[in-house]
Structure 1
Amino acid sequence: MDQLTHLLGGFGDVLTPMNLVWITLGAFLGTAVGVMPGLGSAMAVALLLPMTFTLDPLAALILFSGVYFGGLFGDSTAGILMNTPGNSTAIATTFEGHTMARNGRAPQALATSAIGAFLGGILATVLVVFFAPTMADMATKFGPGEYFALALFAFVAISAIVSESPLKGLAALAIGLGLALVGTDQSTGTARFTFEVPALFDGISIVVITVAVLAVGEVLHAAGRVGHRGANELVPSAGRPWLSRREFRAALPAWLRGASIGVPFGIIPAGGAEVPTFLAYSTERQLDKRREKPLFGTGAIQGVAAPEAAGNATAGSAMGALLSLGLPTSATAAVLLAAFQQYGMQPGPLLFERNGDIVWALLAGLLLATVVLLIINLPFAPLWAKLLLLPQSYLYAGITVFASLGVYATGASRTDLAIMCVLGALAFVMRRTGVPLAPILIAVILGPLAEYSLRDAMANSGNNPLTLVSSPITIALYSLLLLGMVWTIWRRLRPARPSRPAIEEEVEERGRV
């Protein structure tokens, strides 16, 4: 039970007045940013990243842990109250959540969301506490070939399998890999794609890329929709901000099912919680069809409980993959990886040995963050909608100034500001054309790992390409990748069948004609 001993030591480090302030502040900021449509925890962490240089590593990381979970709850709050989810991970919650709000049950929907986020986050974090060291020990068996296979799996999974358009996903991946190549090659000392600009010899900072892609791109995207209203209208809510015994009994199985669906997806490089949240929602909808009187479509509490638990369980287990394997499985995890690197720490198998005190304190901070979020949001969640009364012009202008100051503060370089503007404009075009942004961040983070792992594997084997598929781990990863690609191709080529209700409606319509 060494894990419990280490975790208690982590609580001893975290349970100080100042650290509790940082956790609470992170939860507050994450929820506030998540409530604003189009923003999310990834952008909140990206904006705070350059502002935390003066903090000690533990304070900064527990601040980010609060932002991490808070952003997910804020996304759902915007979706429930205004039918405008703050991020794609909250879309599944919006379907039944907004229907509940329109029926005057917004507080109950928000309470269901808050408790689901709490249960999903707690369950996943507890599993991480017990199994992350084991995952780290297993990761010591990874050599250059295994890491290259893992990076390749992440690239293809995020860009081709999860994306709506594999072509667009691969295009975004290519952009990210191109950005990762800028700078001096560490192996040969050769300058690549620097155009003889001294500021580019060290490469493009991940902070510049994340702020430009997530913040500036969203600001430009919002500016392009000036005058578009309707989606921002608040839905009045009244009543008790808690669940009755009957509602709790109805939601509890959905919370547990959603959490069990979300946990495995946290360690899969699927780009976020979109897949498990929709899977959890679909599961509850299929179960609802077996009832005598189906509730979905009228504001079923299970349609809110399951996706919320799934999304936060995915976020919690994603921290385990990040800490033990060094693998960011979502855009937010990729930014958190940059936060670790900012303090000279490299998540992976050796993190628990080299920085074990900080890691266990961070895990304790994650557990505390879920509790703080429940305390903050259960009684006061409806008040978050007030933030959207701010004029959008003021809101996004403030974000632009904040982003520019943060990027300039990292290196005091005007070149970084110019790159931020260019990449922000590129992100705006990508949003307008439906090109996903997550593959860029994953490629920038994992691109160097893939390159150097491939070089090491080939150098150690005398340029024998079979070394890339010479271990059970690589064979398993490539097999999973191949199965995923086959399934994706089959799903996209399969002719869509009309649903039974649609057929019946068509028959009735023809009969009337």
Structure 2
Amino acid sequence: TKGLLLTMFGILLASMGMDTLSGSPRYDFGSIYLLGGIPFTPFVIGVVGFAQVIKLMEERNKKTQVSIEKLTIKGSMITLHDFKRLFFPAVRSGFMGTFVGVLPGAGATTAAFMGYAAQKSFKNEEPLGTGAIEGIAACEAANNGAAAGAFAPLLALGIPGSGTGAVLLGGLMMWGLNPGPLLFTNSPDFAWGLIASLFLANIVTLMIAWGVIPFLIKILSVPTKLMIPIITVVCVVGSYSTSNSMYGVLIMFLSGVLGYVLTKCEYQTAPVLLAFVLAPLLESNMRKAFIISQGSLDIFFQKPISLVFIIILIAIMVFPVVRPLLIRLGLMKRKAS
């Protein structure tokens, strides 16, 4: 129930601004700043980053204790137990991220939030949000999977699936290469070489990460009093650079307070962020479907793929309600026997 309410709240926030089809303003409260809606980057920075700054202010007198013995490359190697914890979240979120990456406009950020939200529904050795490696593996695997998945429509159809893909498309065309079905026929060396470079990039990234871990992990030994102003400056600069105005900074501060309040009330921020990211895509495609079907709901039940997704959606919504009843029924049968 909490997740559903937070999802609806995220959709409500994403609906502020100009209507995507008619262009009429909605929920702008008469402010010209809200005509463009709530900017995505400052909102995410506030909910994820600045909310943590507010939390650190409560713990500003505490010092982070770091074991010097683990500040080595050898200490960063995962154990067999860690590998077992990471394997299924990484594989599951990797496939999910690849699927999201194929979808135009979704992007790695959406995949990371979806991977993290999906991992919350599984049993974890440590609670997510406390540095559990399952949550880190889910986010990063989905993120990397989306980056690789975006190459599928780019190379096969010539349709970029992300902003990075659009830049790469322009670069390929400058070199006289036309991404599409004929790319693998006319330039097989380049196409398969590009795919092979994705595997090589993961190996190089792993080597670089292992090399800098002993230095990056020392950040944990920095006193909280010094971390607060540093993180605040980074949040302000990042929010201001996206809109070149103080409006983005204001949104960052307000969303940071929102994220802090949700955390203090033991509400998860992931459903709000996920709904905020996906709501524009959901609204745009749903309204296009209604225009094609002239307002009829039958269009959502005419294709097998849409029916499968609707059944999965109903099962996800009904299962949390039915599960306690099934558990009680099983306990009653055990007592009776």
Query: Is TM more than 0.5 here?
Result: yes
Q: Is the 8 A contact 2:72 2:214 kept in 1?
A: no
Q: Is the 8 A contact 2:71 2:218 kept in 1?
A: no
Distance 1:380-1:200 versus aligned 2 partners, 3 A rule: closer
| Match of residue 428 from structure 1 | 260
Give the percent of matched residue pairs that are identical in Structure 1 and Structure 2: 23
Q: For the residues of structure 2 that align with 1:343 and 1:471, how far apart are their CA atoms? A: 34
Q: Is the 8 A contact 1:213 1:437 kept in 2?
A: yes
Matched, 1:452 2:306: no
Cα root mean square deviation, aligned: 4.5
The gaps in structure 1 that reach 5 residues or longer are 1-166, 283-302, 327-336, 346-351, 497-513
Secondary structure at the aligned position of 1:422 is classed as helix
Distance 1:174-1:323 versus aligned 2 partners, 3 A rule: farther
Distance 1:276-1:475 versus aligned 2 partners, 3 A rule: same
Q: Is the 8 A contact 2:71 2:213 kept in 1?
A: no
| Match of residue 234 from structure 1 | 66
One of 217, 237, 244 as aligned partner of 1:385 = 217
Q: Is the 8 A contact 1:276 1:310 kept in 2?
A: yes
Structure 1 residue 314: deviation in Å? 4.0
**CA deviation vs aligned residue, 1:177-198 (integer Å, no higher than 9, x gap):** 1221111113222111112222
| Match of residue 33 from structure 2 | 199
Structure 1 residue 376: deviation in Å? 3.0
Moved more, 424-433 or 190-199: 190-199
TM-score, normalised to structure 1, is 0.46
Q: For the residues of structure 2 that align with 1:198 and 1:360, how far apart are their CA atoms? A: 49
Q: For the residues of structure 2 that align with 1:444 and 1:251, how far apart are their CA atoms? A: 33
| Match of residue 319 from structure 1 | 147
| Match of residue 414 from structure 1 | 246
| Match of residue 400 from structure 1 | 232
Structure 1 residue 338: deviation in Å? 8.5
Q: Is the 8 A contact 2:42 2:252 kept in 1?
A: yes
The gaps in structure 2 that reach 5 residues or longer are 101-110, 126-131, 155-160, 170-178, 184-190, 329-337
| Match of residue 210 from structure 1 | 44
Structure 1 residue 258: deviation in Å? 6.7
Distance 1:388-1:494 versus aligned 2 partners, 3 A rule: farther
| Match of residue 438 from structure 1 | 270
Q: Is the 8 A contact 2:61 2:224 kept in 1?
A: no
Structure 1 residue 416: deviation in Å? 2.5
Q: Is the 8 A contact 1:273 1:310 kept in 2?
A: yes
Distance 1:400-1:258 versus aligned 2 partners, 3 A rule: closer
Equivalent pairs, count = 287
One of 178, 181, 184 as aligned partner of 2:12 = 178
Aligned AA (1:190) = S
| Match of residue 264 from structure 1 | 95
Q: Is the 8 A contact 1:212 1:420 kept in 2?
A: yes
Structure 1 residue 475: deviation in Å? 0.3
Structure 1 residue 251: deviation in Å? 8.7
Distance 1:429-1:311 versus aligned 2 partners, 3 A rule: closer
**CA deviation vs aligned residue, 1:46-72 (integer Å, no higher than 9, x gap):** xxxxxxxxxxxxxxxxxxxxxxxxxxx
One of 282, 287, 304 as aligned partner of 1:472 = 304
Q: Is the 8 A contact 1:277 1:308 kept in 2?
A: no
Distance 1:462-1:281 versus aligned 2 partners, 3 A rule: closer
Q: For the residues of structure 2 that align with 1:253 and 1:415, how far apart are their CA atoms? A: 45
**CA deviation vs aligned residue, 1:287-339 (integer Å, no higher than 9, x gap):** xxxxxxxxxxxxxxxx98x998776544433435566689xxxxxxxxxx986
